[in-house]
Every structure is written in structure tokens, then in C-alpha cells.
């Protein structure tokens, strides 16, 4: 389903204590929040804005000779560690479940590194079990939400049963069945109508997710292969391409190092993935596309859910542009640059005028005309 919660999309980082959430948050957002080797180091959530790396934007900025270059951004939220019983208030209790609820997608941080000095809350390194522990808590909490809604619907039905109530009860029963098998709500195949109803319940497990295995040299390779294999059985089929190994600690330590030293370190790691790879993975998981605007002062990239209309896209730039939208002039950004600029592109007939229903394409350069 298209992501419609908000324009500024956010990723909640979720995992056991000491799995490396704050470490990767710091590397992603270039900030410094405490990431220490004791559980529940993070109490309040940390929020950081991350720029989406973008080669097309670089080309646009250099074409426009723009002074300011403003990339599209997404928000990462570093959430407190979650333990068994969290849904009942164990650990840091319920407060951070609300932080997860607000996120558009979940990034599960799964510890696959061994370290004598960093305790694992359950003693043993096993990212597959860790995922089950963490996700079960989210499922348990969702079950509570679901049961409450079912009771409400049963009461409502006493005053007269409608097709809508029937659909809603059936949806919740289907989801409850999946959850009883330990599966997240996200996996349940539903009609568009049922999906929309479920979406409005803000369930914790009805979100697209992706999975980071926090690795380092110390992990035996066969272990890793085995873990990745069994993780595939635990997640939705369409999520198998959304799993990645990252050495989170090294990513943090590389910040500020000279390029040559970075390259040397990277050369030593098999299957190296960087924080930029995490950002790209999040971008793909949210199924985003990027469109562009610009002038000689500023070149902007904006991200929006695939399938969004140009009127919605205007609203990402500014709510006034959406409200007073009349028409949008659109050309592919690279085609415009190739043609020699906006004016030349217009002369060549490359610029198309579109009404509000036009579905924005990845790479569109957009000029919104408004009725003032
Ligand atoms: N050796 C090693 N240590 C790591 C790695 N990633 C994180 N750590 C260490 O593990 C400890 C915990 O990391 P954090 O990032 O604070 O973990 P967290 O998931 O945010 O933990 P909570 O906030 O307590 O939930 C820190 O001392 C990190 O330096 C890694 O890949 N290798
Ligand atoms: Mg933390």
C-alpha cells in the first residue's frame, strides 16, 4: 500500500537492547547520542534527519549553478531497546511502542556480532530468535488493539449489522489468525477496502519492514549463512530482498577518517555495505520516487510514494501549492539537462502540461502553476 501517513517519512529503528541501534543512528545522522555497552542506554527516542544521496540532483544543481542544493530527506528514529514483556510494560514499558506506531516503516536491528564486553540480554547471539522476541511483543500489543476493536464492533452490531461491520470483523479475524501463528499483520492478504480499514488502526506490525544484521569480523561465516536462511522463513516473501549485513560499529568509526583509510578498512570487509546502502534500502522499502524543482538559487529533490499525483507532490513542496494548484509543467530532469535547459526543452516540445490527476514519475522535474 502507498505510504500515506505523512510527507516526512520516518523509519523506526527497533531491536533488543545493545543490538547497535544508537550506533547506527549516529552513523546515519552524523550525530552523537549515547551508544554505550549497557542495556536501555537509550530512554527517550532520538530523531534525526537523513539526506537521501542523489546523483541526479548533483547533475541538476550543476546545470542550474544553484547555490543551495537541498536533497530529499527521511527521518530515522532511534527507539529504546525492547525486551520480552514489553507489551505488558516490561523494560521501558509502553511509552516507546507509541514511537514505533508513528513510524512509516520499521528497521529491525538484529545483533550478529560477538563481543565479550557488550552483554546480550538473553546471553546468546542469535538474530533469528531476537527477531522473534521483538516481533512477538509487537504482535501481542497489536492483539490487544485488535480485541478491543472486535468488542467495539460486536457492540455496534447489536444495533444492526451492516456489510461494513461484517467486512471489518472478518478482517480482524483473519489478522488475528495470522498473529496467532506469529505472523505480522503486514503479511495478511486483504482486499483494498479491508487494507484501508486495517491501516487506520495503526497496528505496529502492519508496516513495511527491513532487516539489518549488525555483523563484524568475529561472526563465523557458516552461522551467518544459517541465520540469513532461517530469517527468510520468518519474514514476508516480498521482504527477502530487504535484508542487509552492516558492520554498524565500523560505520561509526569511519566517520571523519581520511578517504584512503576508509578505503583500506572497506577493503578488509567482505560484502561491504555502508550507511548509504541502508538509506537506499529504506527508500526502496518505502517504495519512494524522487521528483525535482529548481531555479538559479536552489535545486531541490523531493521524495513521495510511488503512485502519488502531481497535486499531492505539490503539497510536499508547500501546502499552498497543493491548495491553489492549477497545472504542472513536467519534463524528465535528465532530458531537460540534455536539451540544454528549461527554455530549450520547451522549444523542443519536451515539456508537458498535466492536470492534478497526473501520476508523478521518478525523475520528473516539475513546475507547479498556481491560481493566486
Ligand atoms: N564489537 C561491536 N560492538 C558493537 C557493534 N555495534 C554496536 N556495538 C557496541 O554495542 C554497544 C551497544 O550499542 P548501542 O548502539 O548503544 O545499542 P542499542 O541497540 O542502541 O542499545 P539500547 O539503547 O540499550 O537499546 C556499544 O558499546 C556499541 O559500541 C559491533 O558491530 N561490534
Ligand atoms: Mg540505544
Q: Where are the domains of the chain?
A: 10-126+207-285, 307-370
Dihedral sign computed on CA atoms, order 85, 9, 54, 285: positive
Q: Is the CB of 114 under 6 A from ligand 1?
A: no
Question: Among the atoms of ligand 1, which is closest to the Cα of residue 215?
Answer: 31
- CA 121 / ligand 1 centre spacing (Å): 12
Pick the CATH number of 307-370 from 2.40.50.140, 3.40.50.11750, 3.40.50.300, 3.10.20.30: 3.10.20.30
Model pLDDT, residue 151:
97
- CA 97 / ligand 2 centre spacing (Å): 15
Model pLDDT, residue 1:
38
DSSP conformation class of 87 = G
Strands lying side by side in the sheet with 352-354: 68-70, 298-305, 288-294, 364-370, 325-332, 352-354
At 332, is the pLDDT very low, low, confident or very high (cuts 50, 70, 90)? Answer: very high
Closest CA to 80 of 28, 14, 128: 14
Give tens-digit pLDDT for 20-39.
999 999 999 887 777 777 77
Name the class of domain 10-126+207-285. Answer: alpha beta
What percentage of the chain exceeds 70 in pLDDT? 95
Model pLDDT, residue 255:
83
Query: Do 10-126+207-285 and 307-370 agree at the fold level?
Result: no
The string of DSSP codes covering 233-280 is: HHS-GGGTTSEEEE-HHHHHHHTT--HHHHHHHHHTSTT---HHHHHH
Q: Are strands 68-70 and 298-305 parallel, antiparallel or unpaired?
A: parallel
Q: Is the CB of 41 under 6 A from ligand 1?
A: yes
Q: Atom 31, ligand 1: which residue's CA is nearest? A: 249
CA dist 269 and 155 (Å) reads 59
- CA 326 / ligand 2 centre spacing (Å): 47
Interval 205-232 mean pLDDT:
90
Q: Cβ(248)–Cβ(23) under 8 Å? A: yes
Q: Are strands 73-78 and 105-111 parallel, antiparallel or unpaired?
A: unpaired
pLDDT at 46 over 90: no
Question: Among the atoms of ligand 1, which is closest to the Cα of residue 20?
Answer: 15
Q: How far is CA 145 from CA 62, 73, 149, 201, 208, in A?
A: 51, 32, 6, 8, 19
What percentage of the chain exceeds 90 in pLDDT? 69
pLDDT at 5 over 60: no
Q: Is the CB of 20 under 6 A from ligand 1?
A: yes
pLDDT at 327 over 80: yes
Q: Is the CB of 18 under 6 A from ligand 1?
A: yes
Q: How far is CA 168 from CA 63, 141, 176, 292, in A?
A: 53, 19, 12, 40
Model pLDDT, residue 80:
83
Residue bearing cell 497545472 = 327
pLDDT at 278 over 80: yes
Question: Among the atoms of ligand 1, which is closest to the Cα of residue 109?
Answer: 19
Identify which of 43, 113, 118, 273 to mutate to test ligand 1's pocket (most ligand atoms within 8 A of the CB). Answer: 118
CA dist 51 and 21 (Å) reads 19
Q: Is the CB of 120 under 6 A from ligand 1?
A: no
Ligand with smallest separation from the Cα of 27: 1
What mean pLDDT value characterizes the chain?
90
Amino acid at each position: 500500500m502507498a505510504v500515506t501517513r505523512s510527507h516526512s517519512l520516518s523509519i523506526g529503528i527497533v531491536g533488543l537492547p545493545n543490538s547497535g541501534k544508537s550506533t547506527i543512528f549516529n552513523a546515519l545522522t552524523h550525530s552523537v547520542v549515547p551508544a554505550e555497552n549497557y542495556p536501555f542506554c537509550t530512554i527517550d527516542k532520538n530523531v534525526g534527519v537523513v539526506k537521501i544521496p542523489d546523483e541526479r540532483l548533483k547533475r541538476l544543481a550543476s546545470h542550474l549553478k544553484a547555490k543551495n542544493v537541498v536533497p530529499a530527506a527521511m527521518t530515522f528514529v532511534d527507539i529504546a531497546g525492547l525486551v520480552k514483556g514489553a507489551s505488558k510494560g516490561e523494560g521501558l514499558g509502553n511509552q516507546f511502542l507509541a514511537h514505533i506506531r508513528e513510524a512509516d516503516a520499521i528497521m529491525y536491528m538484529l545483533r550478529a556480532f560477538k563481543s565479550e564486553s557488550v552483554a546480550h540480554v538473553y546471553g546468546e547471539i542469535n538474530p533469528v530468535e531476537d527477531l522473534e522476541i521483538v516481533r512477538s511483543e509487537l504482535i501481542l500489543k497489536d492483539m490487544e488493539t485488535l480485541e478491543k476493536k472486535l468488542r467495539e464492533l460486536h457492540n455496534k452490531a447489536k444495533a444492526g449489522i451492516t456489510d461494513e461491520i461484517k467486512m471489518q470483523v472478518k478482517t480482524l479475524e483473519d489478522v488475528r489468525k495470522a498473529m496467532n501463528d506469529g505472523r505480522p499483520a503486514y503479511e495478511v492478504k486483504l482486499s483494498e477496502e479491508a487494507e484501508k480499514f486495517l491501516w487506520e488502526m495503526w497496528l505496529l506490525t502492519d508496516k513495511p519492514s527491513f532487516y539489518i544484521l549488525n555483523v563484524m569480523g568475529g561472526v563465523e561465516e557458516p552461522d551467518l549463512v544459517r541465520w540469513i536462511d532461517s530469517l527468510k522463513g520468518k519474514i514476508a516473501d516480498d521482504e527477502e530482498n530487504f535484508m542487509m549485513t552492516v558492520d554498524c560499529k565500523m560505520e561509526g568509526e569511519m566517520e571523519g577518517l581520511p578517504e584512503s583509510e576508509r578505503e583500506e578498512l572497506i577493503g578488509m570487509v567482505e560484502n561491504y555495505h555502508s550507511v548509504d546502502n541502508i538509506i537506499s534500502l529504506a527508500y526502496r522499502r518505502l517504495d519512494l520516487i524522487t521528483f525535482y524543482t529548481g531555479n538559479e538559487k536552489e535545486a531541490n529533490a523531493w521524495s513521495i510514494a510511488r503512485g502519488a499525483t502531481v497535486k499531492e507532490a505539490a503539497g510536499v513542496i508547500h501546502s499552498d501549492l497543493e491548495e491553489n494548484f492549477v497545472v504542472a509543467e513536467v519534463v524528465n530532469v535528465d532530458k531537460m539537462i540534455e536539451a540544454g535547459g528549461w527554455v530549450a526543452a520547451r522549444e523542443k516540445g519536451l515539456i508537458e502540461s498535466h492536470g492534478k490527476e497526473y501520476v508523478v514519475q521518478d525523475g520528473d522535474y516539475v513546475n507547479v502553476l498556481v491560481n493566486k
